[in-house]
Amino acid sequence: MDFVSRWEPNARERLQQAAMELYSERGFDQTTVADIAARAGLTERTFFRYFPDKREVLFWGSGKLEELLVDGVTRAPDSTGPMDAVTAALEAVAPIFEERRDLVRQRHTLIVGHTELQERELIKLASLGSAITKALHRRGVPEPVARLTAETGVAVLRVAFEGWVQNPKPSAFVQHVREARESLRAIAAGRKPTRD
Amino acid sequence: MDFVSRWEPNARERLQQAAMELYSERGFDQTTVADIAARAGLTERTFFRYFPDKREVLFWGSGKLEELLVDGVTRAPDSTGPMDAVTAALEAVAPIFEERRDLVRQRHTLIVGHTELQERELIKLASLGSAITKALHRRGVPEPVARLTAETGVAVLRVAFEGWVQNPKPSAFVQHVREARESLRAIAAGRKPTRD
């Protein structure tokens, strides 16, 4: 019985939902793990089974994102150059953002308004860069081209993501990736951007 | 008299030197501000007149680097495209690294071996990216091209710096910047790197 009563359906999702609500209502700093657990109808102990701290609730998706990006780079055809292998991987992660647009936008607003969370985001992006570099190595891309491609790919991801998340209307993430990729091609060729 | 006795010649440089020695000898975590001040023959109070904490001793140059980069982007001829304005700026900061090569290499070894310091480095690089973005805006480069160019420029800087700092022999920083710039041109055009 004890075992059964401790099984909580969708505990992770309930905790995430509760955390996002409280961070938006009160602010990140004013919310405790106890508050989050109470809002989710769970115990603090359950919270710590899923997350090491209240900051990580906001970064639960970064492991999955990294896994999908690495997978995307790995699966690109042998004939594909490194930058286009990374671009294909960026396109493949579109569902991660599109399937939970409201949550992603709410999270983004929180992060840009909080230095400590922005710092954690930078660390996650650096981790993505390293994972992509390793995936490119496995495709036979030598250093320092692998590192430069991966870091540039992260820049493309950031710009595409910013465009998508700031768009008040739902839009295709893939379209933002393609625009950033084409913009990269133009600026790297030394072209001046045209004014609209 | 009191005023005169408190004036310490080259206090900042002596504190930096002492900190680098102690971090290398004992490790960053095992060194206190009191240790650094004692090694430099100064007081803790003097330390805190120059640095907010023992971590910032390692990042004293980042303000100057940012200033020079922004200046370099600003001074590039009007006809220069945004990526080449950033490249010119990266070339202009070569003396910052070349004039103190041993110190820069020692510092680099420390940072790559310490997570907390790597995180601080990421924050400083993000700040460089934002400063370069703003300098490009002032040249009339619209978003999101300005942000993409700046972030890509930071990737070029990182790769050029890695190549320079890991080179066991002194080499021209400008040469590493140019190689990374040409590599960026090739990968952004979709080319596969050639194997040596």
Q: Give this prediction's pTM.
A: 0.90
pLDDT of residue A4 exceeding 60, the answer is: no
pLDDT of residue B4: 41
pLDDT of residue A7 exceeding 80, the answer is: no
Instruction: Single out the residue of B24, B188, B72, B103 nearest to residue A151, CA to CA.
Output: B188
Domains of chain B: 2-53 (1.10.10.60), 61-188 (1.10.357.10)
Which has the minimum average pLDDT: A1-10, A93-102, B20-29, B76-85? A1-10
| Residue to test with chain A: of B84, B127, B145, B162, most A Cβ within 10 A | B145
Q: Please spell the DSSP secondary structure of A11-55, one letter per residue.
A: HHHHHHHHHHHHHHHH-STT--HHHHHHHHT--HHHHHHH-SSTT
pLDDT of residue A72: 97
pLDDT tens track for B103-131: 899 999 999 989 889 999 999 999 999 99
Could you tell me what percent of chain B has a pLDDT over 70? 95
B48 pLDDT band, cuts 50/70/90, is: very high
Cα dihedral value A56, A61, A63, A68, nearest 10: -170
| Residue to test with chain A: of B123, B192, B194, most A Cβ within 10 A | B192
d(CA A180, CA A187): 10
User: How large is the average pLDDT for residues B157-182?
Assistant: 96
pLDDT of residue A87: 98
- Which among A81, A158, A188 has the least Cβ separation from residue B83? A188
pLDDT of residue A2 exceeding 80, the answer is: no
- Which among B118, B185, B187 has the least Cβ separation from residue A81? B187
pLDDT of residue B9 exceeding 80, the answer is: no
What ranges in B27-100 are assigned the alpha helix state H? 33-40, 44-50, 62-75, 82-92, 94-98
pLDDT of residue B7 exceeding 70, the answer is: no
User: How large is the average pLDDT for residues A167-176?
Assistant: 95
